[in-house]
Structure 1
Amino acid sequence: MNLKKYTCYLSILAISTTFVACKQNASSENSNTTAEATKLVTTPTFNADSAYYFVEKQVKFGPRIPNTVAHVKCGDWMVKKLKEYGCEVIEQNFKPVTYDGKVLNARNIIGSINPQATKRILLASHWDTRPFSDDDSTAKTKPFDSANDGPSGVAVIFEILRVIQASGQKPNIGIDVVLFDVEDWGPPSDYTKQVTDANGGWLMGSEYWSRNLHKPNYSAYFGILLDMVGAKGATFTKDTISRQYAPAVMNSVWSIASQLGYSQYFLNQDFGNISDDHVPVNVNAKITMIDICDLRPNSGNTFGDYHHTQKDNINIIDKGTLKAVGQTVLQVLYQESTAQQ
């Protein structure tokens, strides 16, 4: 999750997809639309200890800032793990330019299970680290571990893939994983110059992928973005973009989470606009995608006091949160596998 989500500058226009500044608009109103309870099918067990290991492993590389050795090594490790879990892997290399003119060596990493399947579900997260902890009053220019902002989503996806392979109970749908790079290199919170880049200088990996799909005419039944899904005290509320583009998917996922006993994490509560990687996917690629993201409108700090600070380290990662998200998404995949196609 990025600074842009504090300022929430996203506005989708009817004629263009220009992004403009706006004030954060969080709603405390509960959603009136909920999905009917579905009979849950038998699903393998998500292992929170293993997911925690995947977070820890990424953090140990050091901050995964583009143009650094840690970024290259972590990316290579992720490619290796995806192949180990039976994925067909595509690396999408590109060279975006930052808001202040830096050229970055970036890569989106895509893995596919059952590439021949017609019905496909897309899982995504970003894997890069913001280059500075600009919301930390004592360390604004210093890099940070970003254990939750990026690695937690990747870790949940990797554990889902590991469980699917180990269980021998492979769903009969296609699963595509897109690990977006350069999501988190937007201007610092005190930056005063105008930024005219797409998405205000953020979301560069998803913007690139959404306009340069890894396979011609690629599409998916729906997608789920995982962003900041491992912190203690996390709550996942329903953002406007997800409700606008994929309301049925969002309500179904939240309903499944409730049936699994995770309603204390997945709140039936609406939230305002957030600009995240699901926006280019919905707007440009025309693939309906929801965002499971830690949004805390009932607290004093909507995005957690760790966000873009030195506090975002392994100490804030909670296995219970990883379990709630991972088991819910795993259940969603197996429900779709048995649903009529």
Structure 2
Amino acid sequence: MASSRWFAWGLMSLIVSNSLACHDTTEGQLPRLEATLAGDGNEPPATKSDFATARDPVPEIRPVPFDKQRAKKYLQELCDLGPRISGTEGMKKQQKILETHFRNLGASVQRQEFQVRQWSRKEQTPMVNLIVSWHPQRQRRILIASHYDTRPIADQEPNRAHWTKPFLSANDGTSGVAFLMELGHHMKDLKTEFGIDFVFFDGEEYVFETSPFGGRDKYFFGSEHFAAEYVKSRATRTYRYDAGVLLDLFAGQDAQLKIELYSWDAARPLVEQIWGVAKTLGAKSFVFQKGYEVLDDHIALIRAGIPTVDIIDFDYPHWHRLSDTPDKVSAEQMREVSDVLTVWLQKIR
């Protein structure tokens, strides 16, 4: 299962590495994390449990009360729609659910619409990135993203006869959507200096070819369009993204969240901040060890000058299989990731 994934991603590693070396760095500086203790290179910097000094005491920063059962309920409701492939009725139903959900919670919701032509398709496909903004007036912003399309083929099934079948993609994309739906309940009360944008990328894996060595079908339509528009608007927009977090395949049972190497190379301070908070909180799924390079939506963001960390489990056993169903997703894992990210969001300056 994993070998073809890493082989296909590995074919592009040198090309991506060279392009990342030239990525745009003119937007601004990374957010700082206050009151950290230096790491030794083998462990992340430890954060003080009370985030205070004797002279300048401040209250302990606590995670939001993330309702893990409600998050799991959201995930089940989305999976009940069936596959949500880009441009299909299932995707359109999901878009309506998300737009209504976040507007009801008081967020600003923007549809970023565009058309794509996939190599293996005859017609153009309409796609929509959803941008959900909290405190839209704030100029310094943090981006938290997930793709929300489902892959049209289960090309990691052991039986090749099943490769052309769509699947629910419960952890691969849907877990990030459900996670952000629940997190939305807490955003107005989150004590952070930054504006926060949830971005749902369309077309992350709108791929129909089944060759284990890759083909001509393209990935990452949504993130590449979003990044291009962000760069294009530099002269006129009044905000910037200081940092980004991508959530992908992060909520499986017994997930191990090691460090993705493009994230390490392009946004090492963010990795150290987030994994440092995880260490302080005792979040055991965050493992401060280097994993692999992964081609994912964060690449386009990094190229656009947004330092971004991909939080991903490299070894999810149901990746691109019909068995990627809601029962494989851990509500407790979603809560643990929420604890880490919401403390980090409150702690950065």
For normalisation by structure 2, the TM-score amounts to 0.82
Q: Deviations over 1:146-196 (max 9, x none)?
A: 11100111121221121234xx4553420011100010123544266752x
Change (3 A) 1:328 1:215: farther
Give the counterpart of 1:251 among 264, 269, 272: 272
Shift of 1:322: 0.9
Q: Which runs of 5+ in 2 are unaligned?
A: 23-39, 52-59
* Equivalent position of 1:156 in the other structure: 179
Change (3 A) 1:319 1:331: same
Give the counterpart of 1:91 among 105, 111, 118: 111
* Equivalent position of 1:104 in the other structure: 125
Q: Aligned to 1:117, what secondary structure does the other structure show?
A: coil
Separation (CA, whole Å) in 1 of partners of 2:231 and 2:96: 18
Q: Which deviates further from its counterpart, 96-105 or 154-163?
A: 96-105
* Equivalent position of 2:13 in the other structure: 10
Aligned 1:56-71 pairs, distance under 5 A? 56-71=76-91
Change (3 A) 1:82 1:193: closer
Please state if 1:241 is matched with 2:258: no
- Does the CA-based 8 Å contact 2:134-2:187 persist in structure 1? no
- Does the CA-based 8 Å contact 1:135-1:189 persist in structure 2? no
- Does the CA-based 8 Å contact 1:31-1:269 persist in structure 2? no
- Does the CA-based 8 Å contact 2:248-2:310 persist in structure 1? yes
Separation (CA, whole Å) in 1 of partners of 2:286 and 2:47: 15
Separation (CA, whole Å) in 2 of partners of 1:174 and 1:272: 31
Give the counterpart of 2:322 among 293, 307, 310: 310
Change (3 A) 1:332 1:67: same
Give the counterpart of 2:62 among 22, 35, 42: 42
* Equivalent position of 1:181 in the other structure: 202
Q: Deviations over 1:6-64 (max 9, x none)?
A: 6213332546899xxxxxxxxxxx96362242425134221211211121121111110
Separation (CA, whole Å) in 1 of partners of 2:269 and 2:214: 39
- Does the CA-based 8 Å contact 1:52-1:155 persist in structure 2? yes
Please state if 1:81 is matched with 2:101: yes
Shift of 1:290: 0.3
Aligned 1:1-341 pairs, distance under 5 A? 7-8=8-9, 9-11=12-14, 12-14=16-18, 32=42, 34-38=44-48, 39=51, 41-102=61-122, 103-138=124-159, 139-165=162-188, 168-186=189-207, 188-190=209-211, 194-195=215-216, 201-213=218-230, 216-217=233-234, 218-263=239-284, 265-283=285-303, 285-295=304-314, 303-336=315-348, 339=349
Q: Deviations over 1:181-232 (max 9, x none)?
A: 010123544266752xxxx611111011110129932521111000012110
Change (3 A) 1:61 1:248: same
Shift of 1:245: 0.7
Q: Deviations over 1:277-300 (max 9, x none)?
A: 0000001x21000000012xxxxx
Separation (CA, whole Å) in 2 of partners of 1:100 and 1:32: 45
Shift of 1:272: 2.1
- Does the CA-based 8 Å contact 2:8-2:212 persist in structure 1? no
- Does the CA-based 8 Å contact 1:90-1:214 persist in structure 2? no
- Does the CA-based 8 Å contact 1:96-1:105 persist in structure 2? yes
Separation (CA, whole Å) in 2 of partners of 1:10 and 1:99: 22
Q: Which runs of 5+ in 1 are unaligned?
A: 19-29, 296-302
- Does the CA-based 8 Å contact 2:46-2:277 persist in structure 1? no
**Greater Cα radius of gyration, structure 1 or 2:** 2
Separation (CA, whole Å) in 2 of partners of 1:286 and 1:124: 16
Shift of 1:233: 1.2
Change (3 A) 1:247 1:108: same
Q: Which deviates further from its counterpart, 35-44 or 136-145?
A: 35-44
Q: Aligned to 1:149, what secondary structure does the other structure show?
A: helix
- Does the CA-based 8 Å contact 2:149-2:202 persist in structure 1? yes
Separation (CA, whole Å) in 2 of partners of 1:317 and 1:14: 35
- Does the CA-based 8 Å contact 1:116-1:174 persist in structure 2? yes
- Does the CA-based 8 Å contact 1:92-1:214 persist in structure 2? no
- Equivalent position amino acid for 2:184 in 1: L
Shift of 1:335: 1.3
Change (3 A) 1:113 1:239: same
- Equivalent position amino acid for 1:210 in 2: A
Aligned residues: 310
Q: What CA RMSD, in Å, does the superposition of the two structures yield over aligned residues? A: 2.4
Separation (CA, whole Å) in 2 of partners of 1:36 and 1:253: 10
